[in-house]
Amino acid sequence: MNMTHYMELLADNQPWNLLIFMAIPIVLAETLAITELYILFTRKFDGFVYHLNRFAGTTVGLYFIGVIAYLMTTAVLPITKNHEWRTAIDVIAVGSYLIGGLPLIWIALQEFGFVNKALDQMGKLKIHAICVALFLVFGHIAMIAGMLDPSLLGYKGGGAHQMGAAGSSADHEFCHPEMHEQMKGAHQQMMNGESMKNVSPNKMPMSSQGHSH
């Protein structure tokens, strides 16, 4: 089965890539989502849960800035330059993962006071909830597309190409050049009406029982 670059990223360098690009962002985002719900229901804008919410929002936003910058420079741009995308499935998987980080970055910018300065606490909390929802939507699109086989849209991986090349070389190995020429010469003589006795014994294929005395 062929894999998208998204799945290859998570599968390589186990378990570190899985922790860095999946576990840590998901834990922070889920913490943000759970604390958002608690604050929306209780309207408590102080205490441990409120500060945990702000910490999770700030941290996950800054974290995704680093993740997006890293993946853009080391994966997305080189893959695009070399035309190595594995059909639209691959583009959707990687693109959705990167886009999903943008709402979380917006939350961090809000926590630092760079955006939405005029909103009150409830207004900012609603922005939090919308951004978390967008992250979850794009994150699940990335996971679903990332688990698909790119060959569904016609992608042919390197393994299939190598198998085809190996099969071709194997066919040629059984066609011995000298035997091919001898058989060709004998066939040509027979077509010209020549007697089989005029054919040199050295040029005739001998069976295991046929031998000269």
Condensed to tens digits (0 to 9), the pLDDT of residues 108-165 reads 999 999 999 999 988 998 999 999 999 999 999 999 999 999 999 988 876 433 333 3
**pLDDT for 16 beyond 50:** yes
| Per-residue pLDDT at 168 | 39
Provide the token pair at 63: 């974290």
Which has the higher per-residue pLDDT, 162 or 84? 84
Would you call 157 helix, strand, or coil by DSSP? coil
Taking residues 158-183, report their average pLDDT: 44
Q: Give percent of the chain above pLDDT 70.
A: 74
- Asked if 60 contacts 25 with a C-beta cutoff of 8 angstroms, the reply is yes
Model pTM score: 0.71
Backbone angles phi, psi at 197, to 5 degrees: -75, -15
**pLDDT for 56 beyond 90:** yes
